[in-house]
Amino acid sequence: MTAKTYLCVDLGAGSGRVAAILFDGTSLRIEEVHRFGNQGVRLPTGWHWNLTQLFADILAGLGVAHRRYGDSIVSLGIDTWGVDYGLVDERGRLLGVPWMYRDARTDGGIAATDAVISREDRYHRTGIQSMFFNSLYQLAAEARHHSVTLAGAHRLLFTPDLLAYWLTGCMTNERTIASTSEMLRAGRPEWDVELAESVGIPTRILHPLIEPGTAIGELLPDLQTSLGCGPIKVIAVGTHDTASAAAGVPSLTPNPLFLSSGTWSLVGCELDAPIVTPEANAAGFSNEHGLNGTTRFLKNVAGMWLLQECKRAWDAAGSTLGYAELVEAAREVEIDAFIDPDAPAFARPGDMPATIQAALRESGQPAPESPGALTRVIIQSLAAKYREVLANLRALTGSTSPTLHIVGGGSQNALLNQMTADATGLRVEAGPIEATVAGNALAQMLAAGDIASLAEGRALIRRSFAPTVFEPRTA
């Protein structure tokens, strides 16, 4: 058969790309079409995203894809990082420049919300951990500051919803991305309207949700003309990138343990129903919505953000070391020093090497200066954190799976993979690197009828992209 092409727009907090998944009836092949940067922009008002530039980059990628794949293109899906959004008025016009989730305007937001409704009650209702960047606190901050943007808003569109609207003219809210907001009922496709109202969020902006696999619409006629293409369908995939990454985990057994390794490390497993017990809350786990009504029971760990920020500082100081070279340098170093990757000091952009060194000194540990040594501290600290999180997860869920699937860009880090296997005692299967793109495509393939189930799609991914195995080593 002639290969079918599924286009995947995958946007992370550091970069974005348009990729193509080619399906020949028996296996998948991924081709990168267009890659571009995505950096927050610091304006006088604070940190924002340059979404109009991202949209222009997406269109550039779609143009390349059309020229390359033509009529074999079946559909397009978009996934992005979570929590961030745009607000539009009754005429569909974007109001203001969308905020970046790391902006400081949410400072004090959790405490202010605690005074209205307890953290324990919020967790029981939503199943989501209270993190300073959640949409709930972003919108509550706009309400507290009497934002003209919020006052004039007719609809809330999360980042992939907004981009899909600009492509199709159709406004929707997809369930998996909405679940990152801390404003949905746990395990249910409905807004917690009472919670939103309690912190001043106007409920008129909260519209009904759609499921992954729903057709949103087709490219607008003027975009078809400018790109020289036909009416490409846009499908709502698991539009939160972690939802797509979890769908792309190549497990042959149900409820796999996974670690989606990128800017954030998302450590979790797939469940049939949420866990909203006090113990799950105390351990810091969230219950995000997945494909086919599943729950992603997971915890956020800082992940490659620490190394990305360090590299940004080293690059600014004239370093030419790439990520692979930093990891190789870390292999040559032995240092007994650890940080907590989730410490608040590491959450904001800034001079990350200096911040890590300060934390090490404050705890009485050696504070190395070389990039290789600091990279080693980051990697071994992440492995230790994964061990802690997975021990809690297994206790809460009863999981006895002997295998941890590490997917995403961080799965290329063989040193971290081996340290994770050693620290956890689990067999690590690393890959695919492009699990998010693969999971994005699976939702489109389900919509098209090319696969009958998520399990069938995962088996297809495993056949197409064999994982690399890391067995735990005994001391």
393: tokens are 């997860």
Q: What angle do CA 309, 48, 110 make, to 5 degrees?
A: 85
pLDDT digits (tens, 9 = 90+) for 110-143: 999 999 999 999 999 999 999 999 999 999 999 9
Q: Which amino acid is at 61?
A: G
Residue 239 CA from chain centroid, whole number: 9
Final residue in a domain of this structure, among 217, 236, 255: 236
pLDDT of residue 39: 85
- As for how many domains the chain has, the answer is 2
C-alpha dihedral (110, 114, 120, 121), degrees to nearest 10: -110
Could you identify the residue written with the tokens 């420049």? Answer: 97
User: Does residue 378 surpass a pLDDT of 80?
Assistant: yes
Supply 30's token pair.
């991924």
* Rounded Cα distance, 213 and 235, in Å: 6
Q: Determine the 3-state secondary structure of 469 from DSSP.
A: strand
* 302 pLDDT tier (thresholds 50, 70, 90): confident
Residues 187 and 249 in one domain: no
**Predicted local distance difference test score (pLDDT) of residue 475:** 55
Note whether 251 and 232 are same-domain residues: no
Residues 89 and 174 in one domain: yes
For the chain, the first-to-last Cα distance in angstroms comes to 51
Give the C-alpha distances (Å, rounded to integers) separating 227 from 4, 230, 232. Answer: 20, 9, 11
Q: What is the mean pLDDT of the chain?
A: 96
What percent of the chain lies above the pLDDT cut of 70? 100
Residues 183 and 303 in one domain: no
> What pLDDT, on the 0 to 100 scale, is given for residue 417?
97
Mean pLDDT of 10-38: 95
**Does 232 share its domain with 247?**
no
Give dist(CA 57, CA 29) in Å, integer: 23
Q: What is the pLDDT of residue 341?
A: 95
Question: Which residues 6+ apart lie within 8 Å of 248 measured at CB?
Answer: 407, 432, 434, 435, 436, 437, 438, 439, 440, 442, 458, 461
The pLDDT assigned to 438 comes to 97
Give me 282's structure tokens. Answer: 């105390």
Residue that is written with structure tokens 């695919």 in the block:
432
Give me the half-sphere count of Cα atoms (radius 13 Å) on the Cβ side of residue 53: 14
Q: How far apart (Å, rounded) are the C-alpha atoms in residues 401 and 257? A: 7
If asked whether residues 212 and 325 sit together in one domain, one would say: no
Residue 59's nearest CA partner among 85, 92, 36 is 36
- The pair of structure tokens assigned to 370 is 């070389």
Candidate from 17-21, 27-31, 258-262 with smallest mean pLDDT: 258-262
Task: Count the Cβ atoms, other than its own, within 10 Å of residue 276.
Answer: 18
Q: Which amino acid is at 242?
A: T
**Active site (annotated) includes residue 241:** yes
Q: How many residues does the chain have?
A: 475
Q: Cβ(140)–Cβ(201) under 8 Å?
A: yes
Of the residues 208, 236, 264, the one at which a domain ends? 236
Distance CA 296, CA 240 (A): 11
The two beta strands, 46-48 and 41-43, are: antiparallel
Long-range own/partner contacts, residues 376-380 (CB < 8 A, 24 or more apart): 376/330, 376/333, 376/334, 376/335, 377/335, 377/337, 377/338, 377/339, 378/306, 378/307, 378/310, 378/339, 378/341, 379/327, 379/330, 379/413, 379/415, 379/416, 379/419, 380/338, 380/419
Q: Do 88 and 30 fall into the same domain?
A: yes
Alpha helices in 366-413 (DSSP H): 371-397
pLDDT at 1 over 70: no
**pTM of the predicted structure, to 2 decimals:** 0.90
Question: Which residue do the tokens 């922009």 mark?
Answer: 41
- pLDDT per position as a tens digit, 441-474: 999 999 999 999 999 999 999 999 999 999 999 7
Q: What percent of the chain has pLDDT over 90?
A: 94
- The reply to whether 299 and 247 lie within a common domain is yes
* Sheet strands (E) in 176-229: 209-210, 214-218
- Across the range 213-218, mean pLDDT stands at 98
What's residue 166's pLDDT?
98
Amino acid code (one letter) for 264: W
Distance CA 298, CA 286 (A): 5
Q: Average of pLDDT values for 56-73?
A: 97
206 lies in the same domain as 251? no
Final residue of a domain: which of 203, 220, 236?
Answer: 236
Q: What token pair was written down for 432? A: 């695919």
CA-wise closest residue to 340 among 370, 365, 372, 312: 365
Distance between CA atoms of 427 and 472, rounded to whole angstroms? 6
CA nearest to 16, candidates 42, 51, 68, 48: 51
Of 256-270, 340-354, 414-428, highest mean pLDDT:
414-428
Based on the fold, state whether residues 229 and 245 are members of the same structural domain: no
Rounded Cα gap, residues 286 and 307, in angstroms: 24
What pLDDT shows up at residue 241? Answer: 94
Radius of gyration of the chain (CA): 21
Statement to judge: residues 68 and 112 lie in one domain: yes
pLDDT for residue 2 is more than 90:
no
| Mean pLDDT along residues 286-294 | 94
- Could you check whether the bond before residue 432 is cis, i.e. omega within 30 degrees of 0? yes
Residue range(s) defining the domain that contains residue 21: 4-236
Q: Hey, is 127 helix, strand or coil?
A: coil
Calpha distance 468→455 (Å, rounded): 20
Tell me the average pLDDT across 145-156.
Answer: 94
- And the tokens for 353? 């090497």
Mean pLDDT of 317-332: 96
Q: What is the C-alpha to C-alpha distance for residues 228 and 250, in angstroms, rounded to an integer?
A: 36
The conformation of residue 262, written as its DSSP 8-state character, comes to: S
Average the pLDDT over 209-235 and give the result: 97
Q: Which of 79, 192, 241, 450 is catalytic?
A: 241
CATH code of the domain covering residue 229: 3.30.420.40
Mean pLDDT of 379-383: 98
| 217, 254: one domain | no
